[in-house]
Amino acid sequence: MTNHGSSIALEWAPVFYQKIGHKPRADAITRFDYDGDWIGENNWEHLDDFELPAYVYFDVKETKSHYFIMYALFHPRDYARICFPIICHENDLEAVTLVINKLTRPIKIEYVQSLAHDRIRTFPVEDINCDSSPIIFFVEPGGHGIHPLNPDKLSPEKKELPLKKVCTLKNTTIPEKKWLKYHIGSSSDLFLDSSGQVLSYQLLPIQTELWSRKKELPITFSNPYNNEGVRFQWGILPKSFSGKKFTQGRARPPWAWKDLFDSEKHRGEWFLDPALFLQRTTNNKRVSLSYVFHEYL
């Protein structure tokens, strides 16, 4: 990731309010190789044996009209109080994208997109305070779906309606129990097995951390598929992270995500061709489809 992309991602980095379930360590965000290796089939069992430094994966793409900044959260486990196949699985990666309109003065967030349980939702943003404060997101316990968060109610917004209040307030504090607050910082703070923590995270580029390892099958990834997108084709890519606990290879890398109601030809489009995804799903013809910064083309 070039300095261009890194600086933009740092500037707009969100705040994440992670709700805590009955297995707090499984709700702490971290990096795929938190245990010192890139083996996907031991992340579940290693959870209690290694430290959990806070990291968020990111990616930046730019067209003539917009920036598309993706932030992805990794958890070693997708879990429930009672686990069985499909419901629980090893490894979990969910994400949000901030769509920044470059043509306004000042530039501003025009849309927020979030991934939760194979649904990719797009929300228009009407909060004028977002010009100076980071957007905040709600992260579910257990399944880790991400939603825009109303800072007054500390509740997720799930209906694709215009967001009128999704930015942090200067004096926003988290409840003492059942929450972790993650914000961008100069360190990767360690989760300390307690709720009510405020932790800083650092950014990791998807391009060098995950995309560069896409041929590492079956160690890190599994289930290759042929990406035949609408405008671009990337050939054979892995559809899943490796993982064996409860459900084999259930967690998806960014280039294999698709909305539950989309056809297979749109798999990976949200990550690989975000401008087309936005134009197609919002019918906003002002969105330029011409990339000026795209490290995967």
Asked if 195 and 216 sit in the same domain, the reply is: no
Which of 151, 177, 208 is at the close of a domain? Answer: 208
Of 3 and 49, more confident: 49
Kindly state whether residues 110 and 246 are assigned to the same domain: no
Res. 158: pLDDT tops 90: no
Is 297 within the bounds of a domain?
Answer: no
Q: Looking at the structure, do residues 253 and 157 belong to the same domain, yes or no?
A: no
Q: For residues 81 and 98, give the distance between their C-alpha atoms in angstroms, rounded to a whole number.
A: 32
What percent of the chain is predicted at pLDDT more than 70?
89
Q: Are residues 28 and 104 in the same domain?
A: yes
Q: Are residues 201 and 225 in the same domain?
A: no
Same domain, 80 and 18: yes
Q: Which of 208, 232, 265 is the last residue of a domain?
A: 208
Q: What are the phi and psi torsion angles at 265 (to 5°)?
A: -65, -15
Confidence band of 54 (pLDDT split at 50, 70, 90): very high
In the chain, the number of structural domains is 2
Q: Does any domain span residue 294?
A: no
Regarding whether 217 and 204 lie in a shared domain, the answer is no
Same domain, 267 and 168: no
* One domain, residues 240 and 188: no
Q: Determine, yes or no, domain membership for 291.
A: no
Residue 160 has pLDDT above 60, yes or no: yes
Residue 277 belongs to domain spanning: 212-281
Residue-wise pLDDT for 14-28, tens only, equals 999 999 998 999 999
Please, which residues have CB within 8 angstroms of residue 193's CB and are 6 or more apart in sequence? Answer: 24, 25
296 within some domain: no
> pLDDT at position 149, please?
80
Top pLDDT among 209 and 160 is at 209
Residue 1 has pLDDT above 60, yes or no: no
Say if residue 102 is in the same domain as residue 147.
yes
The answer to the question of residue 158 being in a domain is yes
Q: With CA atoms as reference, report the closest residue to 71 among 182, 187, 225, 162.
A: 182
Question: Does a structural domain hold residue 257?
Answer: yes
Integer-rounded Cα Rg, in Å, for the chain is 18
Tens-place pLDDT, residues 257-273: 999 999 999 999 999 99
42 assigned to some structural domain: yes
Residues 148 and 237 in one domain: no
End-of-domain residue from the set 158, 193, 208: 208
> In whole angstroms, what is the distance from residue 290 CA to residue 292 CA?
7
Pairwise CA distance, residues 238 & 222, whole Å: 6
> What is the value of pTM for the model shown?
0.94
Work out the percent of the chain whose per-residue pLDDT is above 90: 73
- Over residues 182-208, the mean pLDDT reads 93
Q: What pLDDT band is residue 193 in, cutting at 50, 70 and 90?
A: confident
Q: Is the per-residue pLDDT at 66 higher than 70?
A: yes
- To the nearest 10°, report the CA torsion of 258, 217, 272, 246: 20
Same domain, residue pair 176 and 260: no
pLDDT at 14: 94
Tokens 């099958």 correspond to: 217
pLDDT at 131: 60
Beta-carbon contacts of residue 220 (< 8 Å; ≥ 6 apart)? 32, 38, 39, 40, 213, 241, 242
Task: Give a yes or no: residue 242 inside a domain.
Answer: yes
pLDDT tens digit sequence for 117-153: 899 999 998 865 666 678 889 999 999 999 988 766 6
